[in-house]
Structure formats: C-alpha cells, structure tokens
Amino acid sequence: MTAIAVSNADFDTVVLQSDTPVLLDFWAPWCGPCVALAPALEQMATDRHDTLRVVKVNVDENQDLAAKFAVRGLVFHPQRRYRTRALRHGWSGQI
C-alpha cells in the first residue's frame, strides 16, 4: 500500500473517520526536503499498512486544509535523540 493523497473533499472521510492511526504529511512539490522525505514515507506506508495510514496533503492544492491546521511553513530539519544509550534518529518539522 502507498501513501494516500487527500484533498479538501475527502479529508474528513480518509483522516478523521479512520479506524487506524494516521500520519499526516503536509507537503509541496517545490519543497526539496518534502520531496526527499517522500520515499521514506512511502516505505513506511508499505511496511505498516495494517497498523498505520500515511496520508499526504499538497498544501498548494489544498490551502484550506493548510489554513485549518495552521500550517505556516514547510521547514524540515533532522534531529537526533538519545534515549537509554541508544542513538535514535527522529524527524521534526515546523508548522
């Protein structure tokens, strides 16, 4: 299974009424880090299709959704987190 692209029309049905947890990705085609992250999200959608729904919202095409969730920018930066002596990589975005 791949990530699901949603629009204003089907957002409520696909995201808000989902029976499984949803990872929601606000992205834009001109955002280099967003495009770079896409393969990892696609892989996650495939690997965890039974326990997680990966949903993508193109902010250029769905400005109402971006405004509804107060998306102000698509800034992305890697962040490393240390827990119990094991290095874990995490990703943190600014919205």
Tell me the two tokens of residue 66: 């971006």
pLDDT at 55 over 60: yes
Average model confidence (pLDDT) for the chain?
80
Residue 76 has pLDDT above 70, yes or no: no
Q: Which amino acid is at 1?
A: M
pLDDT in tens, 56-70: 999 999 999 988 888
Catalytic sites, residue numbers: 31, 34
**CA–CA distances in Å: residue 21 to residues 11, 28, 48, 72:** 14, 23, 11, 24
